[in-house]
Chains A and B, each alone.
Chain A
Amino acid sequence: MNCYKFRDSISLYIDKELSIKDINRFNHHLETCSSCRVLFQGTLNVVSSMKKIPAVTVSADFGKRLQKRITREQAREKTRRRRMVPVQRLGLQPRYAFASVTALVAILVISVSIFTGDNDDVPVIGNTPALSTTSEVVPQEEPESHIPVSSLVAGSQEDSSMINMPPIHPQIQSQVRQVSGN
């Protein structure tokens, strides 16, 4: 053990936290190095002096002061609970209050905008025919499908390009042909 390692191990030696092997090395260095011996003795004195320090106790009125603080805290808690009771009677929890109010405001705004506003400017949610301004419901034409059904099964190179799909792998093509019987 060198002096550096010895210095690091002093407290562990005093507190019996070293392994037996390290204790032997420590003892050997302690016998051979006089400066480390002085350092060790000094640390030992510090530890024993600290253990001799008389214990401090709390002052006589400590318990009374603590009791007063607790009583105050209990009174505060009681007031807080009393304030919460009317809200709780309604089945409401304060933590949900903000969310509830926000939802209510949102519903109101949407309702007002739907029933009173100029619907030309306001987009109708979901394009519901019943809320449309025209009395006659015009059936929407089905958009023409540009994708031939055949391309989804065994489409040619040309068909695949129409829907911007990569060409189907030849192995998959053959599997699909087997399934479809073509």
Chain B
Amino acid sequence: MTESSFPSSTKLSKEMADKIYSDEELISRFQEGDEYSYVELVNRYQDRLINFTYRFFGDREDAEDVVQDTLMKLYTHKHYYRNIAKFSTWIYTIASNLSKTELRKRKRRPHKLISQMGLEGQNWDVPDEDKTNEEIEIQFNETQIQRAMLTLPLHFRTAVILRDIQELSYEEISNILNVPLGTVKSRINRARLQLQEELKHVNETRRT
């Protein structure tokens, strides 16, 4: 198939535009060879996944690479999906596993310090003149949370991102991480308490 024959995101089939398919229906259609369904799934999930991986890495480039890999896996391994779990659970599991693998690779050959991640050139000490106070506060807030998030152990970080950023249910998180519900509850609570400690420390430093 040539590049031009791959359906572009703006050129969806008429049928697709007329009817709103569920994720599970779309993957089923894609498994039968309908590439428009793949495009629709990409459109639905690319931003959700980047929000997950970006909070995971704190680096846009790395986050996008993992989302690309996830969507490629969806393309090449579409038949691995069985209609026994929600599609979102399956795709988040892939993204989560790829993120962990990427972080493990980084540990072996570190090219960036953890403390340097999540900054993305956002220097909150020198606010942008065009921004309102509220926007500056939001940006400061985001940077601090991102920094605090990166101090969390990996299993706490994943759980809290899935809950508080992705707003997934405890049960869905339990399926994605393949751990019991009780473990998910405990991880989310401990992650939030640890984040609170980190942010408290940052706020105290800011006041002094």
A interface residues (Cβ-Cβ under 8 A, vs B): 7-12, 15, 17, 39, 42-43, 45-47, 49-59, 62-63, 65-71, 73-74
Q: Let me know if B196 is at the binding interface, CB within 8 A.
A: yes
Closest Cβ of chain B to A126, distance in Å, is 48
**Contact (A70, B54) CB under 8 Å given A50-B164, A58-B47:** no
Q: Let me know if B188 is at the binding interface, CB within 8 A.
A: yes
Q: Let me know if B145 is at the binding interface, CB within 8 A.
A: yes
How many angstroms from the CA of A41 to the CA of B84 in the assembled complex? 40
B141 and A59 form a contact (CB under 8 A): no
Contact of A74 among B1, B142, B196 (CB under 8 A): B1
Interface SS of chain A: helix
B141 and A11 form a contact (CB under 8 A): no
Closest Cβ of chain B to A18, distance in Å, is 10
Identify which of residues 123-139 in chain B touch chain A, using a CB-to-CB cut-off of 8 Å: 138
Total residue contacts A-B, CB cutoff 8 A: 97
List 20 additional contacts besides A49-B141, A71-B1; criterion CB under 8 Å.
A8-B189, A9-B189, A12-B185, A39-B193, A43-B192, A46-B145, A46-B199, A50-B145, A50-B164, A50-B165, A54-B142, A55-B51, A56-B60, A59-B60, A62-B68, A63-B9, A66-B42, A66-B71, A67-B6, A70-B75
Return chain B residues, CB-CB under 8 Å to A68: 3
B interface residues (Cβ-Cβ under 8 A, vs A): 1-3, 6, 8-9, 42, 46-47, 50-51, 54, 60, 63-64, 67-68, 71-72, 75-76, 138, 141-142, 145, 160, 163-165, 170, 185-186, 188-189, 192-193, 195-196, 199-200
User: Which residue of chain A lies nearest to B196 when distances are taken between CB atoms in the complex?
Assistant: A42
B72 and A66 form a contact (CB under 8 A): yes
A7 and B193 form a contact (CB under 8 A): yes
21 examples of A-B residue contacts, CB within 8 angstroms: A7-B193, A10-B189, A10-B193, A11-B189, A17-B170, A43-B193, A46-B192, A46-B199, A49-B199, A53-B141, A53-B145, A55-B51, A56-B60, A57-B50, A59-B60, A65-B68, A66-B71, A69-B72, A71-B2, A74-B1, A74-B6
